[in-house]
Structure 1
Amino acid sequence: MQKYLKYIIPISIPLIVLLLPLSAFPFDGLTIIQQRVIAIFLLAALCWVFEPIPIYATSVVIIVLELLLVSNKGLYLFRLNEGQPHFGELLSYNEIMATFASPIIMLFLGGFFLAMAATKYRLDVNLARVLLKPFGSDPKFVMLGLMLITGIFSMFMSNTATTAMMLSILTPVIAVFGPKDPGRIAFALCIPVAANIGGIGTPIGTPPNAIALKYLVGDNYISFGEWMAFGVPFVVVMMALAWMLINFLYSADQKKIELSIKGKFLKTPKAIMVYITFTLTIVLWLMGSSHGMNSYTVALIPVAIFSLTGIINKEDLKKISWDVLWLVSGGIALGLALDKTGLARLVVHSIPFDAFSPYAVLFGAAFLCLVMANFMSHTATANLLMPIMAALGTSMASLTPLGGEITLILVVTFAASLGMSLPISTPPNALAHATGHVQSNQMAKVGVILGVVGVLLSFVLVWLLHAVGHIG
């Protein structure tokens, strides 16, 4: 019976919500369309938690259900009461379908093309080989070098791919440590920690960042370079704290190790084209809109160049993480429904948040996100919370002195990426745990400390940047 609960619960609860009369809900003025969005939201949340189907499939189901139940081109039977006051406004089917080709999706697609080309022409391994040379043979400094390289790669590549690559480089090195040497734990643990933290540094580093950008528009718009202006310092400080913490908890007995990475930079025309395009794309991103292009437009430049030159061919296209793109698009569609139907605002306005301290709201939202991110996908967590946080940020006047909506969104976004206490929390954690060198309790000890400290640090950083006028 227990194994069927993961199917029964996600289906039965949304169905019950759909069958309830509007008067059963604690919201004044709730419409039928909003009731349907509540049911879709609960279905998404429960499917992302229990995973009766793959999480990317849940995103596709969200989009299809929105098209059927709440769009102006949905099933006729679901539009019979259209025009009545209690029915609500239907969404445009164009807007729902457009989530598959949102600028956020294009930004990630550009990032995937860069990462694939870098891996295919060994740019990542060769950069690691060159950049690790200055760190010598002292285990603690070699570990620092590994963390910095992993963090840098994670800003522009998939955290999972970066972790897999770095762990493969490390395999012969970890074997040098004795079977009971804490250095085994330290080296196996430092890679996923650095990958999880490093992804915070750029808008394409991790899906929660891209989801946050969807809500940082208008006066709250943040360019690629502006994100890095606060993201990179945060990553550097967190990386330093993580390095010191891991060294303190799991200091290596071995006093000297040799890290041998074989390889050399390729000098073929296609490899040189990859180097030039990679550099050009990053420079254009860092220059913000001073050249007239936003980060979404720039992201398509490597897509065009690599496709035109055959650097990325049709076989490579099959290897793109389409599941991640679908997952993000489902979250965007969910946020669209919550926003356009007015449900997010209705829920937020029905709770007297202004009666609470703005600090309590900020920390409460961030730690709720942190806890959720430890037990479910970071992307799913951000998908569920971000539209509600955006509505809350605009409705709470007491948050304005602290940066308002932008502070709330950024702190929650950082919290989503800092959920890394368990092997199931992130794919990098799972890969590190699979090596057999790090146990769940050892991972939890480091993850909990870094998660709590990171949330507090993110609040301080974002507030300071707002105070000096760099954001918000």
Structure 2
Amino acid sequence: MLAQESAPTAAGEKPSPALNRAQKIGLVLGPSLCLLIGLFLRPAGLGPDGVAALAATVWVAVWWVTEAIPIPITSLLPLILYPALGLGSVGDVVTAYADPTLFLFLGGFIIAVAIERWNLHRRLALTVISALGTSPPRLVLGFMLATGAISVFISNSATAMMMLPIGLAVAKQIEDLRRKNGEAPDDNFPTLILLAIAYAASIGGIGSLIGSPSVAIMAGVASSALGIEIRFFDYLLVGIPLFFLFTFIAWRILLRVLPPGFREVKGSRELVRSQLAALGPMTPDERKVLGVFCTTALLWIVYPFLLKGVVPGICDAMVAVFGALLLFLLPSSRGDRLLDESALQELPWGVLLLFGAGFCIAQVFQTTGVAAWFSSFLAGLAGAPHILVVLAVTTLLAFLTQITSNTATSAIFMPILASLATAMGVAPAGLMAAGAIACSLAFMLPVATPPNAIVFSTGLVTVQQMVRAGFLINLAAIVIITLVATFWIPLVWGY
């Protein structure tokens, strides 16, 4: 402790925490496995370049999973390893870090920053909660729908952080009202609200291509490795129904596992409405941001039908960047713009680097024959029933992601699932979507996903409560994802 305190640091900086046991192991294990695979692995059907690609990717995967160094920095490792091993020039490798999907996410992130800066997210949340009522079941459902709706377009972590103080304030005020009415405190209710926020933040992320990094990686790998374009609107046909279905199931399970001890509280409806009234009427700047958001969303839906012949090359990424640029052009009532350069400091650049690394791995797997090798290696599964393979993949990733980074897990497995689908002779989009969605639904442990950690940090949620509710939601999600990927996705996507 003293050594850490005496270590010199720059002004205002905190000393970096010491590496934990897993990080120390990963730091050595990654390059060691890379070396061993490169020197001794000679599988039939995989050439030297394929072995080198596999070895380098194992190094990256180990550092991702153990977080030996920060995940975004590990995501730059392919820029060093792949060219150094003769798998392409830096110029070839770096093209993956400029995949159109990254610009779709970049535009979405910028729009999300504007929504947060101008407080639209809080207004939306309170409006939904107020509309649904304030009995415990309705209040929990209101928090889940509000949190999930925001998380469809804003990062899960930011959504959970934004909703946490609202949830804590409402829970505290309701307990105060119950105390004034002479009623006993209900220990389950605050926990119920917090878990509703955490789970809904993760569930909302699967609603759109820009809601969850895992889903975005799936779309990017499908494009770069298979030439399949999953458009924003196409994904909504899957993501939005799943969002509502998972929200309903999680709501019912939470009420069963943590039943509230009261039915209604006098004055609770007025409490929520007073918070909404305190925001005042919607300002002109809020209206402008809402207008940009609605315009962008509308263009994502209609451009394939109305603009393809007018604007050659238009795509989801173009629309997202167009919406983002508008926010830097439109004036605000303060005399500046709706967004300025400082907004760039709030963007999750590390997530974009992780996307780039995932797309880079998929690209190198294709060019070096690793993808084809996986296909032949997995050919034995070709006779297995499709639904059982989807079930196995979904189950594996749904539980693996409880202890590993959702995004890193998706980046590692998406190229593998693309190869598996090829080996089975089935449409790859459904299998990859099942894996990506499973990676996004980590409900059981505080370490599984940032929203879980955020609500756990309050001290009002125990690990046992999270495991009990999360395990049941995970089981239900596995069944639903399997059925949707097997029957619904091929029907609505056609690929």
Residues 23 and 69 in structure 2, CA contact (< 8 A), matched pair in contact too: no
Is 11-20 or 55-64 further displaced after alignment?
11-20
Which of 307, 322, 328 in structure 2 is aligned with 1:301? 322
Structure 1 residues not aligned, in runs of 5+: 71-89
State the alpha-carbon separation in 2 of the partners of residues 461 and 249 from structure 1: 26
- 2:165 aligned with 1:142: no
Which of 69, 75, 79 in structure 2 is aligned with 1:63? 79
Letter in 1 for 2:31: P
Counterpart residue number, 2:198: 192
Which of 153, 158, 172 in structure 2 is aligned with 1:156? 153
The CA deviation at 1:347 is 2.7
State the alpha-carbon separation in 2 of the partners of residues 2 and 135 from structure 1: 47
Change (3 A) 1:166 1:16: closer
Change (3 A) 1:298 1:395: same
State the alpha-carbon separation in 2 of the partners of residues 389 and 118 from structure 1: 35
Aligned-pair Cα RMSD in Å = 2.3
The 5 Å alignment of 1:12-411 reads 12-19=29-36, 24-25=40-41, 27-70=43-86, 90-175=87-172, 176-177=174-175, 180-217=186-223, 220-257=228-265, 258=268, 259-260=271-272, 261=275, 262-268=278-284, 270-287=285-302, 289-290=304-305, 291-292=307-308, 293-309=314-330, 310-351=337-378, 352-397=380-425, 400=426, 404-411=427-434
State the alpha-carbon separation in 2 of the partners of residues 323 and 21 from structure 1: 29
Give deviations 1:95-148, integer Å, cap 9, x for gaps.
Answer: 321222221111111111111101111111112222222222211101111111
The CA deviation at 1:348 is 3.1
Q: TM-score, normalised by structure 2?
A: 0.85
Give deviations 1:176-222, integer Å, cap 9, x for gaps.
Answer: 33665211211110001111111111000100111111133477432
Which of 474, 479, 482 in structure 2 is aligned with 1:451? 474
State the alpha-carbon separation in 2 of the partners of residues 146 and 12 from structure 1: 43
Change (3 A) 1:251 1:125: same
The CA deviation at 1:454 is 1.1
The CA deviation at 1:36 is 2.0
Give deviations 1:320-372, integer Å, cap 9, x for gaps.
Answer: 11111112212221222222211122133124222544333222222221122
Counterpart residue number, 1:7: 24
Residues 292 and 323 in structure 2, CA contact (< 8 A), matched pair in contact too: yes
State the alpha-carbon separation in 1 of the partners of residues 382 and 259 from structure 2: 47
Residues 27 and 350 in structure 1, CA contact (< 8 A), matched pair in contact too: no
Residues 206 and 239 in structure 2, CA contact (< 8 A), matched pair in contact too: yes
Change (3 A) 1:68 1:312: farther
The CA deviation at 1:312 is 1.7
Task: Give the match's secondary structure for 1:318.
Answer: helix
State the alpha-carbon separation in 1 of the partners of residues 486 and 122 from structure 2: 37
Change (3 A) 1:353 1:315: same
State the alpha-carbon separation in 2 of the partners of residues 6 and 121 from structure 1: 39
Structure 2 residues not aligned, in runs of 5+: 1-17, 176-183, 309-313, 331-336
The CA deviation at 1:51 is 1.2
Q: How many residues align?
A: 446
Letter in 2 for 1:208: S
State the alpha-carbon separation in 1 of the partners of residues 376 and 446 from structure 2: 37
State the alpha-carbon separation in 2 of the partners of residues 329 and 171 from structure 1: 37
The CA deviation at 1:413 is 1.1
State the alpha-carbon separation in 2 of the partners of residues 21 and 93 from structure 1: 21
The CA deviation at 1:299 is 0.6
Task: Give the match's secondary structure for 1:375.
Answer: coil
Residues 148 and 205 in structure 2, CA contact (< 8 A), matched pair in contact too: yes
Residues 226 and 288 in structure 1, CA contact (< 8 A), matched pair in contact too: no
Task: Give the match's secondary structure for 2:304.
Answer: coil
Q: TM-score, normalised by structure 1?
A: 0.88
Counterpart residue number, 2:333: none
Letter in 2 for 1:116: V
Residues 11 and 43 in structure 1, CA contact (< 8 A), matched pair in contact too: no
Give deviations 1:50-71, integer Å, cap 9, x for gaps.
Answer: 112111111012332223323x
